[in-house]
Structure 1
Amino acid sequence: MLQAITHQGDQIIIAAKSHAAIQKLKASNQKYYCPVCHSEVRIRAGTEVIPHFAHHANAKCFSIEGGEGEYHEQGKLMIYQWLEKQQLDVKLEPYLSLIKQRPDMLVEIGNKQIAIEFQCAMIPKEVINNRSKGYQSSGIQPIWIIGANQLKRITATTLRISPFLLSMMHQFSSSTSNKLFFFCPDTKQFVIAQHVFIINKRSAIAKFRVRQLMKTTIVDLFREKLLADQELLSLWMREKEKFRTKPIHVSRLGHLWQQWLYRNQTSIIYLPSIIHLPVESQYFMKTPLWIWQSKLVVEYLVKISVGSYLERSRINDLFQSEDHYSKKDFPLIYQVKDPINQYLQLLCKLGIIKQYNLSLYKKQKNIIFHANLEQAINADRILLKQLMNAK
């Protein structure tokens, strides 16, 4: 831990002190205590570790859980000092006895409290959810900043995604995009990935912003910078081509889906271009885009004639509760939007269906299956360009 208290109750942040000051503290034989369990701790300061306080080997304390490495301690100290320089009321590693949690930092801005967690190692999403809900139960806004050691960028606009990262995705209001916050203590940079669109279980498209720590304020982290429709759909064009030409990742789910396509006398090559379209709230679905969208199109939309009505209740019957997550799985998301509704809105933009009210649509066009790969790819491009121009 970066801080301890003296017998008089004074707080000492050891990492903020000079080498000479630390040596003076060590020579003074002053005793220091853990602010959580109040047991005695000792100063650890060497050439290869950031100065900190450590419990004795047999200590049992809440604060020891999930041991913290040098990368984490360094990043936490930098973020704390960054907040202090903005003249914000910030506490380092405070213990919140009411909920028995210890955030890395607790910041007060006006009448609002923010708990900041700097997380550099993978932990179960259940732990993240439970901690987030604990803060929220006390009226505290949790913000998780992920160590940049967990950021795996594939290209300038794509990153590796995982349940661990998705559990720390934020949305602060119904009108703002989803965001992932990263920080690297080595480069002293924030990386914000926002407007995240899931491609598959391993990757996602996002708009990235890189900000130097000392040229950034806490307010800057929340500024909106979205993917323009043209940018998103241009990037998705590449994903559509991969979808058509490269084998779907071998998995039990993928194998079952391909068997389902065979039973429906079709394949990936022939599928209508309206299948596998980008939906921002795809993170809420357990099944990949192409599976649930093809199910809606092939099992329902194709089978009804032009001019027939589509009932939302019939669409809902196509899916089971295990096809999507619970809203409780995303405590950091202000409003989980309905991915099926977002997909239906795309079909409305394309003129495939027309919406009459919240639960009723009408089929406007026939659904076209393709004859070969070349026709499919050309049709995909035309459709995405149509979406770019749609209002």
Structure 2
Amino acid sequence: MPKSLSFHKLEERRVITILVAKTRQQELFYLTGKHARAELKEIRLREKFFCPSCKAPLLLKIGEINIPHFAHQTRSDCDHFSEPESSLHLQGKLLLYQFFQRLDLKVELESYIPQIRQRADLLVNGQFAIEFQCSTIPVPLLKQRSEGYRKLNIRAIWIKGLKAPCREEIGMLHLKTHEVEMRRSTEQVSFLLLFYPPSNRFYYHSNLFYVSTNRWVGKTKSIGTNKQVFPFAVPKALTKEEFNVVLGIFRNARQQYIRSQLYFDNRIKSLYCRLCYELRLDMTNLPAWFGIPILGAECLKQPAVLWQLQAVAGWEKGISVDMLIASGKLVLSNPARATQATVLVSDYLALYLISKDHSSKDFKLLDIAYDNYCKSLRKLRK
């Protein structure tokens, strides 16, 4: 397929597969696991099915491996916003549908909303659109879908589909741009909600600290559908011991970054080396308070050690945080995040001044950094 083929052209060439169809009597027919395959084959002989959205004829496919589903008889651009279905996606939607039913909630499978021409994977109580996303989705499209629901006072909840279970630990996570956009923010923590259909289990990536590009440090924990609630359970804040693990991972990431800078052919071109020279710091052995984890640091593109060195260098020269950000020396991930960056850098400088007056031993740094983490959470609750 030519690289120049547009996103919209790709959309037009898809075959949409769905779990809900209309019969000739204009009644909705759901493939929710209620009918056995043999029963479905008999129904297929005497009934015709049509797409609830575009009214086109549908095929009822009943294989031995894949979940029974409907598909348009011809390639279609029906429901512009739907993704191509996979077996994982179909299975996940069915299990989520059954989960909501067990909670005695009003749930509609693949509910088409004509006002915005969108089909929600599941619509719960008419107020929550559940989007179970198994494939990559362009961020503008993700935002467009969420905005469409918002206009109708429907809350969009994005759930990432998993092809394999996650390790439950505090560790380094590799998140794609659209996955970061799928995060939910609550009064406690922000988190990414995931679902693994083969084990009927929800996973959480929570307490996410930005490292660089697609790398984050976070806590991964799971819960079975038999213990899950709705609205979905919210992860807890990190304990001091857990935060110390995050601190250790950041320390290792900092050392990796420093080694990469020391191997520069021309250290004059290395911003890290220049900042260490300006601040009269040993570039091979920085004080512990440089490169520490702070919530919300994704508003800056640079690694923690670099933007924190720049913040201190600006403070030493008497440059205000606003001026430092306006100068472009601190690279924003989005110009609209300037205010967030100002608060972030100001909070770090306050932490830096406290740290400077104490011993640089790890236990002191842990106390100060964890206290800052807790303060950040309290700000989110306001």
TM-score w.r.t. the length of structure 1 is 0.78
Q: 1:150 to 1:389 in 2, by over 3 A?
A: closer
Deviation at 1:344?
A: 2.9
**1:9-24 correspondence to structure 2 within 5 Å:** 9-16=26-33, 17-24=35-42
8 Å CA contact 1:104, 1:117 repeated in 2: yes
Specify the alignment match of 2:308 in structure 1: 293
Structure 1, residues 350-390: CA drift from partner, whole Å, max 9, x if none? Answer: 5449xxxxxxxxxxx68x9xxxxxxxxx9362552341575
The reply on whether 1:40 has 2:42 as its aligned counterpart is no
Deviation at 1:37?
A: 0.3
2:36 partner letter: S
Deviation at 1:32?
A: 0.7
The reply on whether 1:273 has 2:288 as its aligned counterpart is yes
Segments of structure 1 that go 5 or more residues without pairing to the other structure are 305-309, 329-335, 354-364, 369-377
Q: Which moved more, 1:342-351 or 1:73-82?
A: 342-351
1:75 partner letter: G
2:203 partner letter: V
Please give the secondary structure, in 1, of the residue aligned with 2:143.
Answer: helix
Select the residue among 64, 71, 80 that pairs with 2:88.
71
2 CA distance for matches of 1:389 and 1:213? 32
Segments of structure 2 that go 5 or more residues without pairing to the other structure are 1-17, 373-382
Select the residue among 235, 238, 248 that pairs with 1:237.
248
8 Å CA contact 2:189, 2:206 repeated in 1: yes
8 Å CA contact 1:206, 1:227 repeated in 2: no
Q: 1:83 to 1:390 in 2, by over 3 A?
A: closer
The reply on whether 1:324 has 2:333 as its aligned counterpart is yes
Select the residue among 153, 156, 159 that pairs with 1:139.
153
Structure 1, residues 47-85: CA drift from partner, whole Å, max 9, x if none? Answer: 011001110124441268531110110001100111112
Deviation at 1:230?
A: 4.1
Deviation at 1:324?
A: 2.5
Deviation at 1:96?
A: 1.1
1:223 partner letter: V
8 Å CA contact 2:131, 2:158 repeated in 1: yes
8 Å CA contact 2:53, 2:79 repeated in 1: yes
8 Å CA contact 1:15, 1:52 repeated in 2: no
Please give the secondary structure, in 2, of the residue aligned with 1:232.
Answer: helix
**1:47-126 correspondence to structure 2 within 5 Å:** 47-62=64-79, 65-108=82-125, 113-126=127-140
TM-score w.r.t. the length of structure 2 is 0.80
Please give the secondary structure, in 2, of the residue aligned with 1:103.
Answer: strand
Specify the alignment match of 1:385 in structure 2: 366
Specify the alignment match of 2:230 in structure 1: 218
CA RMSD, 1 decimal:
3.2
Deviation at 1:291?
A: 2.4
Specify the alignment match of 1:360 in structure 2: none
The reply on whether 1:164 has 2:178 as its aligned counterpart is yes
1 CA distance for matches of 2:50 and 2:113? 17
2 CA distance for matches of 1:2 and 1:389? 48
1 CA distance for matches of 2:70 and 2:105? 25
8 Å CA contact 1:105, 1:115 repeated in 2: yes
1:188 partner letter: N
Aligned length: 347
Q: 1:102 to 1:260 in 2, by over 3 A?
A: same
Q: Which moved more, 1:34-43 or 1:60-69?
A: 60-69
Deviation at 1:234?
A: 3.7
1 CA distance for matches of 2:193 and 2:246? 22
**Identity across matched positions, percent:** 23
Specify the alignment match of 1:373 in structure 2: none
Moved over 6 A (4+): 255-258
Deviation at 1:223?
A: 2.5
2 CA distance for matches of 1:156 and 1:273? 21
8 Å CA contact 1:180, 1:192 repeated in 2: yes
8 Å CA contact 1:123, 1:164 repeated in 2: yes
Higher relative contact order (CA 8 A, sep 6+): 1
Deviation at 1:257?
A: 9.5
8 Å CA contact 2:131, 2:159 repeated in 1: yes
8 Å CA contact 2:209, 2:294 repeated in 1: yes
Q: 1:170 to 1:261 in 2, by over 3 A?
A: same
Q: 1:258 to 1:119 in 2, by over 3 A?
A: farther
**1:168-187 correspondence to structure 2 within 5 Å:** 168-172=182-186, 175-187=187-199
1 CA distance for matches of 2:138 and 2:260? 24
Structure 1, residues 123-179: CA drift from partner, whole Å, max 9, x if none? Answer: 22222111111111221110000012387659544322221210111114xx33101
Specify the alignment match of 1:356 in structure 2: none
1 CA distance for matches of 2:192 and 2:134? 13
Specify the alignment match of 2:143 in structure 1: 129
The reply on whether 1:7 has 2:24 as its aligned counterpart is yes
1 CA distance for matches of 2:26 and 2:268? 63
Specify the alignment match of 2:14 in structure 1: none
Please give the secondary structure, in 2, of the residue aligned with 1:61.
Answer: coil
Please give the secondary structure, in 1, of the residue aligned with 2:217.
Answer: strand
8 Å CA contact 1:49, 1:70 repeated in 2: yes
